[in-house]
Structure 1
């Protein structure tokens, strides 16, 4: 069954063992997407969408700040553009993609994750594969959609200092293949790179090994929320041209510093992008979000973003150095590869001999409740025993976390 809205393919699909029409659920392939008012006409006297012709009802007197808020000058009474091709064009240029037909926009990456499960994985019958420790929303979305989860843990290898805490996480390709061999119902494989909470980039060769595996007929989803902090030429976007069974997720939340606007990105070959577009809510990206996203992707804003990345990556190095100075108080060396805008540090027992989850939780709570510094406790996740995840902050914030952490470690 052809994908509605997609022109016939002019060339062979790579890899040869992949057929997207066998991955997408039949009811989704047969779906006739909702035709919204702005699909046909965007200009003129617009009397086709039952909008409020008199404009929005927000009063500038409601708040002193609203009087100068440029958002109020937007056409808030009109439904937004359903496609936002201007944003997609800038993303395609930034990521060296061939065109807007390779780009999908979602309300954060979370919408895309959920949508991928809904279009590919049959509830109660089929499954996804994840590689813990990893981003928790994969499992949450799977449970919401009544989708099974197969877990293939990352391998923790290499020593990272005292306390028996190991250092680096790697994708166990052979174990992923073994899981696929044992369960033909796996439709999606989620790989987080750089990982959350591992901070580790997965080598492209490892991802290609799964993409090329003939027994896997599904799609590999590579979540690159933190890719701009890695400082490496490690984005799986470079593989898109050769692999129809690959979907790369990115976001404006992290390196662009726009978590509040909720703009996620999927990059894939046109067939999958078309399926996602056919299935999404008609106007999923709001006009204010689109306006800010387009501005963030301008040349001057991109230069500003890159400058901030340089500052944060330099601060990451300085933060790690300062944290190592607390080893005598029972703070371990970082685990993972530190390819993101955070670090993961195990809290050890007082004598420094082992990771101590109880002490770590006490440190976490004391920092937040008594010292005003909020980090993330990750000690209950596989391979992350007793770990605190610390986001790289401003220079002042980093100095504060070191000072307060030293105080708390001395007390506990």
Structure 2
């Protein structure tokens, strides 16, 4: 069996123990994808796709929000491109990959996650492996697809904020190896780096160890939604050309500030990208989304993104220092690696015991939101996060307001 649409010279050869055709479900390999009208022609008098030739139905004098007025000139009556190669080309250049054949676009990272599970993992019989505490959509997509879940928790011991390959919230590589050796039905390992909610980077050394494990025949997915807030050298995208059993997922939602347009990215060997392309919905990326993404990936816009990231990283430091000044009121040291655009901080028992207090954290979380107008996220039920809330790095003004209101609240709760 062959991968439809993949040139013979693009079949993977590394690592030697990996055979993508043994990972992909047989029905997906045999799939002949839906061929849409724009796959063939996109110019001329277009009478092939049953579109509305008179244009969209929104009248010129309609009461429209000025923010979306400009989208009405985007040929909304025509189906969008099924491939969006200009966007893929800019992403490939940004992430140091050879070309568009290494890039897949999805409706947010969540579509990428769901599609990977659908093409690799057989419902009812096969499994994914996750490393709690981690992003919740891995488990949601697994349950939706009737796929089993094996859990190998991250390292939960160690001092708050301790990093490194053996520090708190690092991957227990040996235990992951044991798990996949014991259960050949595991087809995908999901690693989140920087982690959500941990904010901790997974070392490329740990990723390489798992990619090179001959006993594991599946795919490793490294979810890098927050990677631009960390050191550039930490991205597993640098390994994509070397390992065909790796998929790196990214997004324009975080560092690019485009959460509303829902554009997710998969970076992988062309063989896996071709499988995802064959399986996706014909026109999954809308014209407004594509238009904004293309602008966001210009050189000037990327420079602006990097400037914003630099500002947020600086503000992250301001937030961490401000939280440290509240230690006498029962704010613990931030946990995790603090390599994302958020921090995770425990609230401690008021009696001075130094122990995290879930009940107090819940009260603080709800009071901030319902009475003080500041919304953070309670994470105290996640492994290793007892008593914790997650605080997104906002603007300087927002962080100043949070710290002031939190200080007053801690004196009463």
Same fold (TM over 0.5): yes
Task: After the TM superposition, list the runs of 4 or more consecutive aligned residues in structure 1 that deviate by more than 4 angstroms.
Answer: none
CA offsets per residue over residues 62-112 of structure 1, 9 Å max, x none?
325459822111110000000000000000110010010000000000000
Distance 1:64 1:56, change over 3 A: closer
Distance 1:68 1:340, change over 3 A: closer
CA distance in 2: counterparts of 1:23 and 1:160, whole angstroms:
38
Q: Do the aligned partners of 1:60 and 1:66 also contact (CA within 8 Å) in 2?
A: no
| Aligned residue in 2 for 1:56 | 56
CA distance in 2: counterparts of 1:367 and 1:168, whole angstroms:
28
| Aligned residue in 2 for 1:370 | 371
Q: Secondary structure at the match of 1:380?
A: coil
Q: Do the aligned partners of 1:346 and 1:388 also contact (CA within 8 Å) in 2?
A: yes
Q: Do the aligned partners of 1:131 and 1:152 also contact (CA within 8 Å) in 2?
A: yes
Distance 1:409 1:308, change over 3 A: same
After TM superposition, the structure 1 = structure 2 runs for residues 45-194 of structure 1, keeping only pairs within 5 Å, are 45-66=45-66, 69-160=69-160, 168-194=168-194
CA distance in 2: counterparts of 1:351 and 1:42, whole angstroms:
69
Q: Secondary structure at the match of 2:338?
A: coil
Q: Do the aligned partners of 1:61 and 1:67 also contact (CA within 8 Å) in 2?
A: no
| Aligned residue in 1 for 2:324 | 324
Distance 1:342 1:66, change over 3 A: closer
CA offsets per residue over residues 237-280 of structure 1, 9 Å max, x none?
11011100000000000000000000000000000000000000
Q: Secondary structure at the match of 2:168?
A: strand
CA offsets per residue over residues 31-54 of structure 1, 9 Å max, x none?
000000000000000000000000
CA distance in 2: counterparts of 1:138 and 1:67, whole angstroms:
34
Distance 1:64 1:179, change over 3 A: closer
CA distance in 2: counterparts of 1:241 and 1:12, whole angstroms:
10
TM-score (norm 2): 0.97
- The alpha-carbon deviation at position 378 of structure 1 amounts to 0.2
| Aligned residue in 2 for 1:395 | 396
Deviates more, 1:386-395 or 1:67-76: 67-76
CA distance in 1: counterparts of 2:46 and 2:274, whole angstroms:
27
CA distance in 1: counterparts of 2:68 and 2:304, whole angstroms:
24
- The alpha-carbon deviation at position 404 of structure 1 amounts to 1.1
Distance 1:292 1:203, change over 3 A: same
* RMSD between aligned residues: 1.4
What 5-or-longer segments of structure 2 have no aligned partner? none
What 5-or-longer segments of structure 1 have no aligned partner? none
CA distance in 2: counterparts of 1:146 and 1:184, whole angstroms:
17
After TM superposition, the structure 1 = structure 2 runs for residues 239-278 of structure 1, keeping only pairs within 5 Å, are 239-278=239-278
Distance 1:10 1:282, change over 3 A: closer
Distance 1:12 1:364, change over 3 A: closer
Distance 1:274 1:67, change over 3 A: closer
CA distance in 1: counterparts of 2:406 and 2:9, whole angstroms:
58
Q: Do the aligned partners of 1:160 and 1:167 also contact (CA within 8 Å) in 2?
A: no
| Aligned residue in 1 for 2:279 | 279
CA distance in 1: counterparts of 2:360 and 2:153, whole angstroms:
25
Q: Do the aligned partners of 2:12 and 2:271 also contact (CA within 8 Å) in 1?
A: no
Distance 1:391 1:54, change over 3 A: same
- The alpha-carbon deviation at position 169 of structure 1 amounts to 1.3
CA distance in 2: counterparts of 1:340 and 1:332, whole angstroms:
19
Distance 1:330 1:68, change over 3 A: closer
Distance 1:394 1:376, change over 3 A: same
CA offsets per residue over residues 176-214 of structure 1, 9 Å max, x none?
001011111000000000000000000000000000000
- The alpha-carbon deviation at position 167 of structure 1 amounts to 7.4
- The alpha-carbon deviation at position 60 of structure 1 amounts to 3.5
Q: Secondary structure at the match of 2:233?
A: coil
Q: Do the aligned partners of 2:12 and 2:269 also contact (CA within 8 Å) in 1?
A: no
Q: Do the aligned partners of 2:180 and 2:186 also contact (CA within 8 Å) in 1?
A: yes
